[in-house]
A and B are shown apart, each in its own frame.
Chain A
Amino acid sequence: MGENMTQQHRYTFAQRMGDTLLVIAQRHCEWVGKAHDLEEEVALANIGLDLLGQATAWLELASSLDEQGRSPDDLAYLRNEREYCNYLIAELENGDFAKTILRGYFLSIWLNLLYQGLSASEDEAMRAIAVKADKEVAYHIEHQEMWIERLGHGTEESAQRMQKALAAVWPYTQELFEVDDVERVLTQARIVPDKAAMQQQWQARVTRTLTAAGLQIPEQRYHQRGGLSGRHTETLGYLLAEMQSLKRAFPNVNW
């Protein structure tokens, strides 16, 4: 029972990671054709593709652990919103550039801490994913910190937009550290790092960056959650409809 239980839990963890990364990758790629200059367009697309690569790795792991034997494509394209278990922050709409950068930054720091923890995981597959992915995330953080500093201290408009974006995204950050039974079992088995410890480090790093950029962290008492159990914002449906439309229209085609 122990072995099987851990497999089921590992599947769930991998699925959450895959969904989260797939959704945030999709959001980044939505910027293609819309960025303010070519250089940033390529930067956002690059970040999106990095995240897509990570999503692929996690979905492949999830597929290998899936009791139903679904393929990574099945998991990505044939599950609906209620089945998706990504963290809500990933599905937030892009909004303006400030919001995109802040949303990305909060996720990047979380991923960095998570991947560092996972590189000591008892699970070999997760270790391999983490070691490779952390290098990509290091660059994302550099890029996002660069922008946060410049936009925070830029013009009055950029500072206002940053502050507004912070207010919009902040209520979705607490969910990243939610610990349910799945997490508890995996942390006990030394497969996944302790999210409570991660939260402190995350808070410290994020506070330092935001304060240095002249931004004020909101006083927030209510935090949004529900993504892990399939209760999503209204925007996920549209994202999935677009992302899954081709596969659903031509179900048996191979690329």
Chain B
Amino acid sequence: MSDTHLYEVFIRAKAGLAHQHVGSLHANDDEMALQNARDLYTRRSEGVSIWVVKSEMIAAMDPDDAHAYLDPADDKIYRHPTFYDIPDEVGHM
């Protein structure tokens, strides 16, 4: 089908959480993509909010760069605030 775009779908499970990527679909425009997302990804009460983004609009990291991008963070414990005693009342940080 001409003029069909691939869209990525993100659903927010409940208020306060972030939208999570749940899959993709094809549609001709944004309005149709939102409806398709609703039909395909929210039929079992999966969430409260839907985002759709044309896949071509997403800039993604090149997998070959994974080592350069991500490894350096691994071995520097002085970057992580793990030596503090956090009171229980604060909860998760």
Please list the residues of chain A having a beta carbon within 8 angstroms of any beta carbon in chain B: 36-40, 42-43, 46, 139, 142-143, 146, 150
Residue on B with the closest CB to A44?
B39
B26 x A146 contact (CB < 8 A): no
- Residues from chain B with Cβ under 8 Å of A38 in the complex: 25-26, 40
Please list the residues of chain B having a beta carbon within 8 angstroms of any beta carbon in chain A: 1, 25-28, 31-32, 35-36, 38-40, 43
A43 x B26 contact (CB < 8 A): no
A-B pairs, top 6 by smallest CB distance, nearest first, are A39-B36, A43-B39, A42-B39, A46-B39, A39-B25, A42-B40
- Residues from chain B with Cβ under 8 Å of A46 in the complex: 39, 43
Determine which of B26, B31, B38, B43 lies in contact with A37 in the assembled complex, contact meaning CB atoms within 8 Å.
B26
Determine which of A42, A139, A150 lies in contact with B28 in the assembled complex, contact meaning CB atoms within 8 Å.
A150
Q: Nearest chain A CB to B71's CB is how many angstroms away?
A: 39
14 contacts between A and B (CB under 8 A): A36-B1, A37-B26, A38-B40, A39-B25, A39-B26, A40-B36, A42-B39, A43-B35, A43-B36, A46-B43, A143-B35, A146-B32, A146-B35, A150-B28
Is the contact region of chain A dominated by helix, strand, or loop, or is it mixed?
Answer: helix
Residue on B with the closest CB to A36?
B1
B1 x A39 contact (CB < 8 A): no
Name the residue in B27, B38, B39, B40 with the highest tally of chain A Cβ atoms < 10 Å from its Cβ.
B39
A39 x B40 contact (CB < 8 A): yes
Q: Nearest chain A CB to B37's CB is how many angstroms away?
A: 9
Q: Nearest chain A CB to B7's CB is how many angstroms away?
A: 10
Q: Nearest chain A CB to B2's CB is how many angstroms away?
A: 10
Q: Nearest chain B CB to A135's CB is how many angstroms away?
A: 13
Q: Nearest chain B CB to A49's CB is how many angstroms away?
A: 9
- Residues from chain A with Cβ under 8 Å of B28 in the complex: 150
Q: Nearest chain B CB to A51's CB is how many angstroms away?
A: 15
A36 to B28, CA, bound (A): 13
B27 x A39 contact (CB < 8 A): yes
Q: Nearest chain A CB to B28's CB is how many angstroms away?
A: 7
Residue on A with the closest CB to B40?
A42
- Residues from chain A with Cβ under 8 Å of B39 in the complex: 39, 42-43, 46
